[in-house]
With several copies, the nearest count.
Chain A
């Protein structure tokens, strides 16, 4: 696992298993894994598929910063965030946020915080491809 990068933007499918192995150390009692998944509708309007685009060189640094922000707020261990770009079919994972901590409350709080902040500031954009053929950036 030594070659695993904790903060990654990739066009390849995401796999949580190596991320969980990466974050977990012997003093951790909790690992929270958040998977953001492409779903089949938004507000009831049917979605055909999604595509994601990133300012990848910048986004990796932002993800690192967000993990550091969380670390100043809660006693957590290692963090990994992998975000996918390109076309995603319904049910495919767009983002994984994985946080280990000695205790679960910190792991939950930090994972949710990091995901909220990704949606606020990480330079990663989602394009909705509606089932009716329309295409729209989600802003």
Chain B
């Protein structure tokens, strides 16, 4: 098993109620799969599917990226919008 730290910001932190979680995952779990797992655990997160950006170790990453032990990940909710 691998340990990954997930950081939550803005609306996601409000839903999860915490700014970070340490999660234990099967080796070979991808960022996208982790998001699906979290969306099942916190159903209000599911509304963000398709509107988030994926980050691994503080850089943007593809949802297919496979996680390794010690990674820091985050799912970036839509950023501060407003008219141009």
Contact = CB atoms under 8 A, between A and B. Distances in A.
Interface of A: 29, 42, 52-55, 57-58, 61-62, 102-105, 116, 118-127, 137-139
Interface in B32-54: 51, 53
A121 B80 contact: no
Interface of B: 7, 9-11, 14, 51, 53, 55, 58-60, 74, 76-84
Contacts of A121: 53, 60, 76, 79
Secondary structure class of chain A's binding surface, majority of residues: mixed
A4 to B, nearest CB: 23
B84 A103 contact: yes
B77 A139 contact: yes
A119 B58 contact: no
A64 to B, nearest CB: 11
B9 A42 contact: no
Nearest to B10: A125
